[in-house]
Every structure is written in structure tokens, then in C-alpha cells.
Amino acid sequence: MSKIGLLVVDMQNDFLGTSAQIPGSVTEAFKEEYQVPLPHSSADVTIPYRTGRKAALPVLGGVRAADWTTHFIKKYGDRMSDIFFTEDWHPLLHCGHGYPWRGRDGKMPTPFTVITAEGYKNGDWSADGSDEEFKTDMYQYLPANERLGNMHVIWPAHCVQGTWGQLVYEPLIQAAHAWGLSKKKSPKHFRKGSARNREQYGVIQADVPDRRDPTTMPNYELLDEFRSCEKLIIAGLALDYCVKRSIEQILMHLGNDFAKKIMILTDCTAAIDTEAGQKFLDKMRALGARVTTSQEVFA
């Protein structure tokens, strides 16, 4: 029997919900989303917005993607050899949150502010909300990150360690646990983004690894897991950030030929920028990956 792995990227409460905080998204659009029938009865699931809790960084279409992923595991879990979950696991004073940063006016940056190496160097931004080690690290990290073509974006504080927002979507984790009991093996969880001085979108490594911190270095254990898969099915959030970067890092280490083993479930993911998400899917098709849906993947 061929080994088929399912990689579920960052389907955590803080990326699900109805808070209209992402540019281009509106609460009405989230409401409209729920006019589309879900693959389960409403009695089967607690959707975050129904609990009265707000997601910190919701991705439009994220709840629906999580629901379809849950349904996919329930329907096709017997074909999965392994289920891998990635999870953002951020300290409160993470470099991608506003708390460590201050502008010239002494105020924290608003969400979606971009902090540049030049702006940090010339004093437009300081790290006066953190300690001297962090301040020094930023002089090295910010330019190194920009040399890779990345921007350093300040996000709403999200997936903070120990909070409700960091937890994997409950119906999804329940489906994965049921799968584990039937398979007599546990789903595997891999946390990322715990280093306060490094951004980490991809599951394999931080964008700019820090040799002093093993959590930012390449995860060869996980790469070996993926290497052994005949097929790697991918779901998760957000398509144009953490899903994209995770796949790019897998290919960086395992080679572009591995793309032919990858299957991306479009109904089990959602993008912050839909155009950027579509460009990434087109790129993956060109590399030989299969872009499909949870209903068609085994058809």
C-alpha cells in the first residue's frame, strides 16, 4: 500500500471567524459564506463566531476550508498513512506582533504595517518594547529577510502560546483523533514561530534561520517523513502565506521533482490575497503538482 500523507497547515482558531480585519475583507462577505451548504449539519460543529470569540487574523473562507478538511478526514481517512498538523506557536512579544515595536511617536505600529531595515536603522521604528538582545538581532534579521525578497509585516497578535486562538479547530482535531484511534497511531503536530526574533511562515524552517535557536533550523525529521510519502496531500491556511512557504521549503530541500507527489486541495485552503494564491497554484501546476479538490482527489 502506498504511503499517503495529509499535511494540514495552521488551521487554528485565530485564522477562522468573522472579524473583518484583513484589508479587502468585510463582515458581510463572511455572512454570505455561510449561505453555502457545509459538508456536515450545523449541530456537528462549533464554529468560532458562534462562540462569541473573535479570531485575531481571520482568513476569508477559512472556516469553510476547515470544514471541508474535517469532512475529508472523515470520508477518506482510511487512505491516509499519516496526518501532519503545523501550528503557529508565537510568544506574545514576537517580532511579527506590534508589542516589541515603537514608532517615533512612541506608539506601537498598527496591524499590517511593514517595518523595513532602513526604517529601523534611521529610527522610524525602534524595538523599545523589547530588550537589548532583540534590538540587536533586528539589525541583522531585517536586512537578511529583505535580501530574500520578504517584507516584515506586523500582524495582529495571533496564535499566542496558551490561548484559545492557538488551538487547532476543534471539529478538525476531533476528526483527526478518531482517525488516530482507528489507525492506532497519533496525528503528528509540528509547531513553528516560537522564536521571538524570527518570522516563520513555513513549517520546515524560519525564513532567516538563527543557528543559536534549533527551532529555526531545518526540520530534517519532518522532511524525512515527507520524503517517504508517495503522495502528500495539502490543506491549510493561508494559501498565499504559510501554505505557500511550507511547500516552497519542502521543494527547496527535496527538489522540484517532489512537486509531482504533491496534491493541493483548493476547497481545503483559502488565501488572504486571492490573486497571489492563484498565482501560486499556477506555479505549482507548472511544476507538476496536482491542484484538485477534496471531492475529486480520489476520483
Residues of the chain with pLDDT > 90, as a percent, come to 84
Q: What is the share, in percent, of the chain residues with pLDDT greater than 70?
A: 87
Residue matched to cell numbers 501554505: 243
The answer to whether 158 and 88 are in contact (CB under 8 A) is yes
Residue 42's pLDDT is: 33
Q: Which of 195, 203, 292 is nearest to 252 (CA)?
A: 203
Strands 102-103 and 125-126 turn out to be: antiparallel
Split at pLDDT 50, 70, 90, the class of 51 is: very low
* Cα–Cα distances in angstroms (integers) from residue 279 to residues 98, 111, 174, 273, 289, in the given order: 29, 25, 33, 10, 14
Distance CA 26, CA 35 (A): 15
Does the CA dihedral 270-16-55-42 come out positive or negative? positive
Q: Write down the pLDDT at residue 137.
A: 97
Which of the four pLDDT bands, split at 50, 70 and 90, describes residue 254? very high
Q: Residue 176 above 70 pLDDT?
A: yes
Q: Say yes or no to pLDDT of 41 above 60.
A: no
pLDDT value for 1: 61
* Confidence band for 22, pLDDT divided at 50, 70 and 90: very low
Give the pLDDT band of residue 299 (cuts 50, 70, 90).
confident
Q: What is the pLDDT of residues 57-74, one digit of tens each?
A: 999 899 999 999 999 999
pLDDT, residue 37, reads 36
Contact call for residues 284 and 269 (beta carbons, < 8 A): no
CA 216 to chain centre: 16
Q: Domains of the chain: which residue ranges? A: 4-91+157-292, 102-147
Euclidean distance between CA atoms 191 and 61, whole angstroms: 23
pLDDT over 60 at 52, yes or no: no
- Res 148 pLDDT > 60: yes
Fold of 4-91+157-292: Rossmann fold (3.40.50)
